Amino acid sequence: MATIPPLHPIRLATSPDQAHESHRQSSSPISPTSMSSPSNHSPKQYAIYHHYPSRTAVASRETVEAAQPRTSSVRSIIRELSAEFIGTMLFMIVGLGVNCQSTLTSSSQVSSTPKGNYATVSLAWGTGLALGAWVSSGISGGHLNPAVTLVQAIFRGFSWKKVPGYMLAQVLGACVGAALIYANYHIAINIYEGGIILCLVTPELIAIVIQADYMTNALCFYNEALGTFLLVFVVLAVTDKRNGAVPGFIVPLALFMVLLSASASIGSQTGFALNPARDLGPRLLCWFVGYGRDVWNYRAQYWLYAPIMGPFVGGLVAATIYDLLLYPSEGNILYSYYHRLRKDPVEAAENGVSNTVG
């Protein structure tokens, strides 16, 4: 009769199926043995060996398992921030590139014939946004815009911990994109105005947005807020699963259409930034390469309240109206907040919220 080593506790199984089940539960090796008795031959039986790992092995495994989620999380965050950085950079390369080409080639010293107009500028900016979104949307969501990131955090549950990193990546991506375009066109820029172009003296902007001379500061703010309202409202609509959301790979096409529409309809008066990073990143680059303090001081800090504050306000207004009128009550932060105040004033008071609704 075959013997079973008495080194470990064993359990006998009378069929391969039972042995397989026991093996699955214990994750231990299975070794068949032939069991018989002098008077009666029993079927082949399987000895299931249970291996008990040492404390050191258990501790090492627990350490590895504890480290894996953290490593995976860090890797995921790096990928998301990189996607926002690269997506915004590509967006700026295409958009600022067409600005430079259409503006610089309007000079006979640079080109015998112009190589662009407002139509090509509008098309290129829309295309740049679509390309940036296609590159990044599957990894980071393809925000590419601090105003969109803020809306996602307030109204769609996007993690607030990620907001600063996303916004920084977007601004840096825009700055690097502007630097790459400046490096490509710096000779033509020198020819165009005999040195560094002061973007602020010409309506045909190259790097940063500028308003028409007849525009008041308040109207500039309103123009940027209105354009961003259109952009964010469409973004919320095409990503709303209960409002016929388009497939994910179609969203960049929708972004192309909405930016093209905004630039063609209300973009000429301010340069249609519609994105704080689109102005702040290139503006930083202009300052770095020697444009001077006029980059920041022009027209009573126009850059702060029009291309930066305007998009934030326009995006928040768009999300508020969309959620109040179109977004389903389930998952609607405004709906939840209202009913928390109406139905549970005690809990609201404990949370420091005054029941002033109704």
Residues 210-248 as b or e (16 or more Cβ within 10 Å = b): bbeeebeeeebbbbbbbbbbbbbbbbbbbbbeeeeeeee
The helix (H) or strand (E) run that includes residue 188 is: helix 163-193
Residue of 31, 29, 30, 36 lying closest to 2 (CA atoms): 36
Whole-angstrom distance, CA of residue 195 vs CA of residue 184: 15
**Exposed/middle/buried for 34, CB within 10 Å: 0-12, 13-18, 19+?**
exposed
CATH for 78-342 (3.40.50.360, 1.20.1080.10, 3.40.50.10380, 1.10.10.10): 1.20.1080.10
Report CA-CA distances (Å) from 134 to 26, 51, 164, 344: 46, 51, 22, 44
pLDDT-derived band at 192 (thresholds 50, 70, 90) equals: confident
Q: Which of 33-37, 52-56, 220-224, 288-292 has the lowest mean pLDDT?
A: 33-37
Stretch(es) of the chain classified as CATH 1.20.1080.10: 78-342
Q: Are 32 and 46 in contact (CB under 8 A)?
A: yes
| Segment 291-341, tens digit of pLDDT | 778 788 777 788 888 899 999 999 999 999 999 998 876 667 766 665 555
Quick one: pLDDT band at residue 211, thresholds 50, 70, 90?
A: confident
Give strand pairing partners of 10: 49
pTM of the model: 0.73
> What confidence category does residue 236 fall into, taking pLDDT thresholds of 50, 70 and 90?
very high
Q: Tokens 């996607």, residue?
A: 83
The average pLDDT across 33-52 equals 43
**Which residue, chain included where needed, has tokens 């768009």?**
318
Rounded CA separation 228/276 (Å): 10
CA distance 11 to 9: 7
